[in-house]
Structure formats: C-alpha cells, structure tokens
Amino acid sequence: MKRPFVIFATTLGLAIALAFSGLLNIQEAIPLVLGANVGTCAGSFFASVGGGPAAKRVAFSHLVFKSTGALLAMIFLKQFSDLMTMAVSSSQYLRQNIAAQVALAHVGFNLALSLLFLPFIRQGTWLVNKLVPEPFRPEEKAFGAKYLEIQSLETPALAFSNAKLEILRMSEIASEMFWNTIIVFETNDQELMTYIEDQDDKVDLLDREIKFYLAKISQESLNPEQARMQLNLVAITSDLEEICDVINKNVLELAQKKIRKVREFSKEGWTEIKDFHAKVMENFHLTISVLTSQDETIAMKVTRHERFLSDLEEHYREAHLLRLSRGLKEAIETSSIHIDLLGNFHRINSKLTAIVKAAIPKNGNHT
C-alpha cells in the first residue's frame, strides 16, 4: 500500500517543482494533480482483489470517488482554474508562488470532492452494495433429524438403531443446554439465554420427528420385546423434551428474575447451587453413557445418585433456611430463586433417572 502513495507524492512533488521553476502554470499543473489523485486508487484496488466484499467495496468506492471528481474537474477545467485564480487573488504570496497554487489545487480538489459527494452517501452505499454484492453462500441446511431413514422402517432393529442415534443427538443438545444454565446465572448473559431457547426449539423438533418415526414402525412385525423397546424409546424422548422444557421455561425464567431484580446469591448459597448443578451434570454425562453403551453398572450408579441428590437438596434447603434465620441480606433477596432453582435441578435429575430405567428396564429391579 506504500508504493501508490510514493508515486502520488512523487507526481505531486514533480508538478510543484515544475511550477516552482516556471515550467508549468496553474492551468497546466491541474491535470497532473488530478492524475496523481486518481493514481492513488491503483494500490488499494489491486490489494482488494484477494480480499472480502468489504475491502472490494472500499477500493471500488475510492476509485469511483476520485475518477468521477477528476472527470468533472477536467470537463470544467477552465472554471476550476479560474476559481483557483480567484482563491489566490487575495494573497500576494499565493499570486506569486505557483508551487503553492498547485498544492492548494490538490487540497481544494479533495475538499470540493468531499463536499460534492457528502449528500449522496446513502445512495452511493446502495449503489456500491449492488455493484459489489456479497458472494453467494449456499443456505445452511435446515436443522432436522439426520438418522431417521424411511427405508429402515420395515426392519424394526434398524429403525430402533436409527431412533437411538437421534435420541443421542437430542441428549447432547439437552446436556449442553443444562451446562450453559449455570453460566447464565454467573454472567447474566442474555445472548446465551437466547441461544439456549433456540436449542430448545431444536429439541422440540427432534422430539416430534422421533416419535413420528417410531409410530410408523410396522406393528405387525414387532415381537413383545420390540414393542416394549418402542414404548421405552418414546418415553426417553419425552423425558429429554421435558428436561429441556424445565430448562427453558423454569430455569431461564429464574435467571431472568435474578437479572431483572439485580439480585446476587450469597457466597455460600452460590457454592451450593454450583455443587448441585455439577452433580446433576455428572449424571447427565452418565445417562448419555448408558444410552450409548447400555452399561448396567453405570445405570445403577445414576439410580444411586438420585437418592443421594434427594438428600443433598434437603440439606442445602436447610442450610439456606439457616442463612435466612441469620438475616443474611443476599439469602433473603434470592430466597425464592434459590429454592426453586434447586428444585428444578432435582426435577431434571429425576428425569435422567427415568431415562436410565427406560434405557435398561432391568435396572429398575436393582437397588
């Protein structure tokens, strides 16, 4: 980008030097000034070739801006020269110094050009966007089921495998949503809340498509075990959808309430909430492992965690009530949010336990 500027400066300097030596008058020097101004566009124009649309628009605008101005100045060269003569008539120094007149012509040209185009910025922007449009990008494929192949419906084993893959996608989205809830409470991030809401829409879509797919499996070809599998997969899908509804409608509502009322949890209370969330998050990971591996040992671990988390919720409720009795300001201000949040986390964990029991029905008989 330095080379065009050097050429421009050299050309302008040469014109000034020739004028200073008496070899050029102002009428003869003005075309050199105009050419030098247009020449500055070359560097930015060539540099923009490998750039994005924004770079191309800037370079193109610069070229059109300077070229149009130079063309108009050449058309009205005599008037431009006369105007310059009038401009310097009040100064004896300028009248006698042709070199200074050349420099003034350069400044005057750019100033006049800016004033001329200033009222047309909006129209110019529209025109440049039309002439240098955004490159075509194929639209992203709309979100939807990836594994629910229609041709597999006549073979229940294949259809169930497809449905399980889609349920895994659903569980991973739900897991990410739950993970992000604690970040929302910590940062008050409204954009992240919107993202979680968008993810819930994806879960709703998968919920409908999976259930519709399972309902189309030929009932005549199902044996009793496969019929039970069909019902269990529908139950798992429903539980995942309900988990996401709790996150979207209940947990995020509590986050909005905290943000709206400008509340902060007590240090002890926030530590308890994060701990409870982390333990439910661990169960989320274990549940996804069960859906993937059908491991009964992991399933039994999730079931044991359900009883432990029930006791832990009760313990944290009592700890919160103790802080209330001490009159701790933060505990008083966030009391309903705190208690409801623990309750909703526990509801989510209960749904995870139900998913595990549906994934491995025999697990319900283990203690």
In order of 203, 228, 231, 240, 241, the CA distances from 234 in angstroms are 14, 10, 5, 10, 11
What's the structural domain count of the chain? 2
* Integer Cα distance of 84 and 222 in angstroms: 95
Locus of tokens 């629910």: 148
pLDDT at 68 over 50: yes
Based on the fold, state whether residues 268 and 353 are members of the same structural domain. yes
Q: Is residue 335 included in any domain, yes or no?
A: yes
pLDDT value, residue 313: 92
Q: Is residue 140 included in any domain, yes or no?
A: no
Based on the fold, state whether residues 314 and 361 are members of the same structural domain. yes
Based on the fold, state whether residues 191 and 72 are members of the same structural domain. no
Q: Is residue 142 included in any domain, yes or no?
A: no
**What percentage of the chain's residues is helix, strand, coil (to nearest 5)?**
85, 0, 15
Q: Is residue 285 included in any domain, yes or no?
A: yes
Confidence class of residue 139 from pLDDT cuts 50, 70 and 90?
very low
Among 131, 158, 187, which residue terminates a domain? 131
Confidence class of residue 5 from pLDDT cuts 50, 70 and 90?
very low
What's the chain's Rg over C-alpha atoms?
36
Burial of 128 per CB tally in 10 Å (0-12, 13-18, 19+): middle
Based on the fold, state whether residues 232 and 305 are members of the same structural domain. yes
Based on the fold, state whether residues 210 and 300 are members of the same structural domain. yes
Q: Is residue 143 included in any domain, yes or no?
A: no
pLDDT value, residue 367: 37
pLDDT value, residue 137: 53
Are 40 and 5 spatial neighbours (Cβ–Cβ below 8 Å)? yes
pLDDT value, residue 316: 93
Based on the fold, state whether residues 83 and 184 are members of the same structural domain. no
Q: Point out the least confidently predicted range of 67-81, 96-110, 352-366.
A: 96-110
CATH number of the domain at 227, please.
Answer: 1.20.58.220
**74 vs 364, residue with greater confidence:** 74
Q: Is residue 136 included in any domain, yes or no?
A: no
Based on the fold, state whether residues 46 and 125 are members of the same structural domain. yes
Based on the fold, state whether residues 101 and 163 are members of the same structural domain. no
pLDDT at 140 over 60: no
* 102-117 pLDDT, tens digit each: 667 767 777 777 787 7
pLDDT value, residue 89: 66
pLDDT value, residue 61: 76
* 149-187 pLDDT, tens digit each: 998 888 888 999 999 999 999 999 999 999 999 999 999
Q: Point out the least confidently predicted range of 72-76, 98-102, 223-227, 293-297.
A: 98-102
Tallying the residues shown for the chain, one arrives at 367
Are 255 and 193 spatial neighbours (Cβ–Cβ below 8 Å)? yes
Residue 360 DSSP code: S
pLDDT at 46 over 90: no
Confidence class of residue 133 from pLDDT cuts 50, 70 and 90?
confident
Based on the fold, state whether residues 120 and 227 are members of the same structural domain. no
Among 74, 104, 131, which residue terminates a domain? 131
The answer for 332, left when phi > 0, alpha when psi is -120 to 50, beta otherwise, is alpha
In order of 311, 320, 322, 331, the CA distances from 325 in angstroms are 21, 9, 5, 10
Q: Is residue 227 included in any domain, yes or no?
A: yes
pLDDT value, residue 8: 45
Q: Point out the least confidently predicted range of 10-19, 74-83, 85-94.
A: 10-19
Q: Give the residue numbers spanning the domain of 33.
A: 2-131
Are 37 and 67 spatial neighbours (Cβ–Cβ below 8 Å)? no
Confidence class of residue 101 from pLDDT cuts 50, 70 and 90?
low
pLDDT value, residue 363: 45
Based on the fold, state whether residues 357 and 225 are members of the same structural domain. yes
Q: Point out the least confidently predicted range of 23-37, 48-62, 282-296, 311-325.
A: 23-37
Based on the fold, state whether residues 174 and 104 are members of the same structural domain. no
Q: What percent of the chain has pLDDT over 90?
A: 47
Q: Is residue 278 included in any domain, yes or no?
A: yes
Tokens of 261: 């009322």
Confidence class of residue 11 from pLDDT cuts 50, 70 and 90?
low
pTM over 0.85: no
* Integer Cα distance of 218 and 222 in angstroms: 7
Based on the fold, state whether residues 197 and 73 are members of the same structural domain. no
Q: Which amino acid is at 351?
A: K
* Integer Cα distance of 155 and 149 in angstroms: 11
* Integer Cα distance of 203 and 188 in angstroms: 23
